[in-house]
Structure 1
Amino acid sequence: MADAGLIAAALMAVASVSLAAEISPQRQAELEHMVIQDCGSCHGLTMKGGLGKPITPADLAGFDPEGLAAIILDGVPGTAMPPWRPLISEAEALWIADYLKTEKTE
Structure 2
Amino acid sequence: MTKALALAAATVAMAASRAAAGDGFDVERLVRQDCGACHGMTLKGGLGPAITPEAVARYDDETLATIILDGVPGTPMPPWRPLLAPGQVEPIVRFLRTGDAE
Same fold by TM-score, threshold 0.5 exceeded? Answer: yes
Question: Which aligned runs of 4 or more in structure 1 are off by greater than 4 angstroms?
Answer: none
Which of 65, 79, 97 is the equivalent residue of 2:93?
Answer: 97
Larger Rg: 1
- Could you report, residue by residue, the CA deviation over 1:51-87 in whole angstroms, capped at 9, with x for unpaired residues? 0000000011121112101110000011110000001
* 8 Å CA contact retained: 1:73, 1:90: no
Unaligned runs of 5+ in 2: 1-23
* 8 Å CA contact retained: 1:69, 1:90: no
Matched, 1:63 2:50: no
Q: How does 1:20-31 map to 2 (within 5 A)?
A: 27=25, 30-31=26-27
Matched, 1:49 2:45: yes
Distance 1:66 1:89 in 2: 17
Distance 2:28 2:38 in 1: 15
Matched, 1:85 2:81: yes
Distance 2:90 2:78 in 1: 16
**TM superposition shift of 1:90:** 4.4
Aligned residue identity for 1:32: E
From the superposition, tell whether residues 77 and 39 of structure 1 become closer, same or farther in structure 2 (CA, over 3 Å).
same
Give the TM-score taking structure 2 as reference length: 0.69
Unaligned runs of 5+ in 1: 1-25
Root-mean-square deviation (CA, aligned residues, Å) is 1.4
* 8 Å CA contact retained: 1:56, 1:101: yes
